[in-house]
Structure 1
């Protein structure tokens, strides 16, 4: 939704930073790898000219993700046309900042629930024991070779810049007001406190704007626990790697 409100004159730097950080913070190492590879062929830097070019870029990336999920045998709806996506989010934006939905909470909570300093985060295995061909963080991220402390720095930066790219200035002001003086540094304190920090922001924004997709703290914890599966494992949990179709 933020891409349709994007103003390159005032948001270009923050938006590019936000999108550049995204491959480093996704909760699944397979998703981080895939998004890094998508960026290599379709970089966000080339889409920063206008709201239209940015929105079309996000639409292409979203369709790449859907195509990848289908290749894994998962049930995914047909890729929407850009016209349909534009109509959907234009309708959201016409509702204004109050009595509407704040999209994306689930992903944000899953990022923090998959805390790099947690037991699961520290035990995440690399895709290869070989040193990357280029010793930069982007390649290390693709191969899942970043140290937990390095990934934590990216997550903190992600949450610092996130409020600056929200689609309404009122949302930005509310987020910054309720994040507290410590701000994203709360994330350093571990999974539980990081999730509680984000929920405090969410609860206050729900109250400030009478948001329609409210949830309780226990509800949020239940949702993110359902995603906390370890993407390479076969479990009952919801995961982007789980095969949801049955072979005959």
Structure 2
């Protein structure tokens, strides 16, 4: 028996990075896992490796969520992990780029929560884990759209937690700091990113690993977190404990 035995989990953005790390841990803890992504080749390959299921799911599309629920039935754990990052100064941020980030990060989270709630209530309970960011707690330059989306996820999490608390559905947000997942290179057009400079600015003097965030997500999916809802769980190496006058270089 694993920590997630009897749980049926859907993880978005599960083909790579943080989502893939969570999928591996969920399977190891005996959950029945549905991997959801738009990267079909990587998603199917990982699902085959883990003996899990895969579904093509563009989280920003209402019809895709309906199809996923129809194909795989009610889930008792949802990890809203899919997300994109866009760098640009405010005055150079194109509306199309802003809307893309909001549609995937924010609207995708909203649609996911809405899609799974009826099944969770019918099943007698569940856990929704919304992946926000430290940018959902404080701002960073060049990240107007991303920060807006991650603050919104933080707020939606609390509303949903209050509405669903009496129905045994828990809703929490996870706020990673800089994690080596490949999200940064993708946002920068595929160019390599040296994270050593960022690591010097983290109190723990290193960036995070996807597997470390996955452990936190497993805890929130499990019954070990049965009294946790509407909360923010931060894993950032101490970054948000500091203020702008602090120096770790």
TM (normalized to structure 1)? 0.27
* Higher RCO (CA-CA < 8 Å; seq separation 6+): 1
- Name whichever structure is richer in helix by fraction: 1
TM (normalized to structure 2)? 0.27
- Name whichever structure is richer in strand by fraction: 2
